[in-house]
Amino acid sequence: MIRLVYISTARTVLSTAALGEILRVSRANNAASDVTGFLVAGGRRFLQALEGPSVAVDTTFDRILRDPRHFATVVLSRDTVGDRQFGQWSMGHQPSSAGGNVTSALVNLIDQIPDATVRAQFEQFALQHAC
Ligand SMILES: Cc1cc2nc3c(=O)[nH]c(=O)nc-3n(C[C@H](O)[C@H](O)[C@H](O)COP(=O)(O)O)c2cc1C
């Protein structure tokens, strides 16, 4: 099993509906291919973790890379792992900010990520890209 974490930039700020559509398709595809993960959107930036069998994660990420809705993808980590950090979500999501602050719901959720490195990746992103 692997976990891949990347950041990218949306071409334009996505509406709630457009983001909802990405999540709908993601959840259906990921559930079918044993991929779990979490997507945070802050302004035009995305941070996403994908975890599951390596072929499934790489195949999913290949599709994501070709998606014209975002660009400037940078892989932060791609590690072989024993445990899932987001096992309960085919693709979890929590609105990242409200009125200039990272939402307490997202902070609580990030606090519960067991792996310190993954938690730090999400904490740093939430602080930098809350808007
Ligand atoms: C930021 C972002 C995250 C995405 N995450 C996923 C995902 O986790 N799983 C997935 O199947 N598609 C995800 N997508 C959508 C894919 O890029 C793609 O549109 C979708 O998988 C359908 O691919 P297809 O049109 O080749 O069938 C994401 C797109 C964006 C912009």
| pLDDT given at position 131 | 43
CA distances from 15 to 20, 54, 107, 112, 118 (A): 8, 31, 22, 28, 27
The pTM for the full model equals 0.94
Which residues lie with the beta carbon below 6 Å from any ligand 1 atom? Answer: 22, 25-26, 29-30, 37, 39, 46, 48, 50, 60, 63-64, 67, 69-70, 91
How many angstroms does the Cα of residue 96 sit away from the middle of ligand 1?
Answer: 20
Q: Are 60 and 25 in contact (CB under 8 A)?
A: no
Tokens 């499934």, located at residue = 56
pLDDT along the chain (131 residues), means of 10: 96 92 98 97 92 98 98 96 96 79 83 94 87 43
Determine the residue of 33, 67, 129 to mutate for testing ligand 1's pocket, defined as the one with the most ligand atoms within 8 A of the Cβ atom: 67
Would you state the structure tokens that stand for residue 78, as one six-digit string? 């791609």
| pLDDT given at position 98 | 66
| pLDDT given at position 99 | 67
CA distances from 66 to 72, 73, 88 (A): 11, 10, 27
Nearest to 4 by CA among 45, 53, 50, 36: 50
